[in-house]
Amino acid sequence: MTETLLDKIWRAHTVRTLPSGQTQLFIGLHLIHEVTSPQAFQMLREAGHSIRYPKRTFATIDHIVPTASQLRPFPDGMAEEMAVHLARNCQEFGVSFFDLDSSQQGIIHVIGPELGLTQPGMTIACGDSHTSTHGALGALAFGIGTSQVRDVLASQCLAMAKPKLRQIRIEGSLPRGVYAKDAILAIIRRLGVMGGVGYVYEYAGSAVTAMSVEERLTICNMSIEGGARVGYVNPDATTFEYLKGRPFAPQGEAFDRAVVWWRSIASDPDATFDDVVQLDAPSIEPMLTWGINPGQSIGVSERVPYPHEAPDADRAAWDEALAFMGLESGRPIVGTPIDVAFIGSCTNGRLSDLRVAAEVIRGQKVAKGVRALVVPGSKAVARAAEAEGLHEIFLTAGFEWRKAGCSLCLGMNEDKLTGMEICAASSNRNFKGRMGSPTGRTLLMSPAMVAAASIRGQVADVREMLP
């Protein structure tokens, strides 16, 4: 009988079948942050429990941290209190904490892979929907809520029903100027924002095999935007090469033994799936959103759609989205003016993202009136970028070079849109109010496309601007 990675990891981590019929699944790596954990620690305390496996939980602070100055105490009293609580909880319960004063702090989904905490074959949970990111290394990674954070702290387990599995094959080569972000936006456009509910997405095909781990992280990150709680790529030589030498990865001969196991948990070559979908990589063009969910996207050469073009069930949603966005149906999306350019987030805040954006920006200037910022995904990303001089390219062009955090992606710190500002963003969600202004508007796109828009002051086709 053939098995998929989902089957193998699920079986290896099954503790028992619960009376409800669900599986009690052991969680190998638990990641926590300041927003979704304080209530979980409080519940744990009230129940009189300790952490079952404190060495399998790691914490960092990312959502609420200021990115301009990170001096303590934070000017925002509530943000400071959350930071203090996380530090206190980690100390009381014996959890490793990559605090702001450590050199390893960053967005939790950036530092997990970067530190080698995220490894193939693991089950991973974090109180954050973008936990799907970690699947890029061949793990099963679940976004969970606060009660489940409590469950994992207390028992190192989750009660879960085994999902179905859809393989998404991206075949061929992505054209020049088209990136992993465009591929995942194209997938979500095709399958919809709820197409993945009840499914795990396995990303495969020659385009995915050719991708770096960082590109795979971008793809897996946005699985949840397509409704799939979990997305993964089978571990391969690219994965192993990425992990080699990372601080928490196995070292020396243990690494070689780990590779043997990691290879064994990949889906069998003749494995079968509940569903298979294929995308043609050469036909994907730079993508961006025109609406208020990540499925409402078009290629950069397309026009803003008319509501009558919507499938019947989506007509009202398209009306609402177009009204909120203030975009005119029938007009080319290219030329749409922007107010803010944001490069960062757990989707596209890694070194390769900054390199690509810097290539577009080098020698150029940010358009007058555009506020542009780069927020590296972690301190390590910032250090590596600075070592290459990328920050100079951004600063010279007129970008702000910020410190690591989630920033404008969800506007929980000082970085917010104001009024009806429109932001070209490399992040993951264009929901109403997402960037901190209830009427602010977000256009999701690749970092290269954000760079292009920042220079032109309007949506532009990056393929015309690549060096």
Partner 1 sequence: MNQDDLRRQIVGRAILLTGNDIDTDRIIPARFLKCITFEGLEAHVFEDDRRQMPNHPFDQAHYQGATILVVGQNFGCGSSREHAPEALKRWGILGIVGESFAEIFFGNCTAIGLPCLMLDTEGIAWLGEAVSRYPEQEVLLDVEARLVCFRERSIPATIPDGARNQFLTGAWNAMGVLLEAGNKIDDVARSLPYVAGY
Alpha-carbon span 378 to 255, nearest angstrom: 25
Alpha-carbon span 51 to 60, nearest angstrom: 17
Instruction: Specify the residue for token string 């509530």.
Output: 78
- Assess 109 for contact with partner 1 (CB under 8 A): no
Answer for which of 79, 115, 222, 452 binds partner 1 (CB under 8 A) is: 79
Given the rule CB under 8 A, which of 178-186, 202-210, 225-233, 363-371 is the region that contacts partner 1?
225-233
Alpha-carbon span 242 to 234, nearest angstrom: 14
Binding mask 326-355 for partner 1 (x = CB under 8 A): ------------------------------
The residue (of 282 and 438) whose beta carbon lies closer to partner 1 is 438
- Assess 364 for contact with partner 1 (CB under 8 A): no
Which residues from 141-160 bind partner 1, rule CB under 8 A? 143-148, 150-151, 154-159
Given the rule CB under 8 A, which of 106-114, 119-127, 335-343, 361-369 is the region that contacts partner 1?
119-127
Which residues from 408-427 bind partner 1, rule CB under 8 A? 410-412
Alpha-carbon span 375 to 308, nearest angstrom: 39
Q: Which of 307, 313, 280, 308 is nearest to 291 (CA)?
A: 307
Which residues from 226-255 bind partner 1, rule CB under 8 A? 227, 229, 250, 254-255
Q: Provide, rounded to whole angstroms, the least separation between the CB of residue 250 and partner 1.
A: 5
Amino acid at 16: R
Answer for which of 198, 307, 392, 466 binds partner 1 (CB under 8 A) is: 198
Q: Name residue 298's beta-bridge partners.
A: 288
Answer for which of 3, 39, 303, 364 binds partner 1 (CB under 8 A) is: 39
Given the rule CB under 8 A, which of 56-64, 215-223, 272-280, 452-460 is the region that contacts partner 1?
56-64
Q: Exposure pattern of 244-263 as b/e (b: 16+ CB <10 Å)?
A: eebebbbeeeebeebbeebb
What Cα–Cα distance (Å) separates residue 81 from each residue in 78, 87, 427?
Answer: 5, 10, 27
- Assess 8 for contact with partner 1 (CB under 8 A): no
Q: Judge contact between 426 and 342, C-beta under 8 A.
A: yes
The residue (of 363 and 419) whose beta carbon lies closer to partner 1 is 419
Q: Provide, rounded to whole angstroms, the least separation between the CB of residue 237 and partner 1.
A: 18
Q: Report the chain's terminal Cα–Cα distance, integer Å.
A: 50
Given the rule CB under 8 A, which of 30-38, 167-175, 266-274, 448-456 is the region that contacts partner 1?
30-38
Alpha-carbon span 185 to 322, nearest angstrom: 19
Alpha-carbon span 18 to 11, nearest angstrom: 14
Binding-site size for partner 1 (CB under 8 A) equals 84
The residue (of 188 and 462) whose beta carbon lies closer to partner 1 is 188
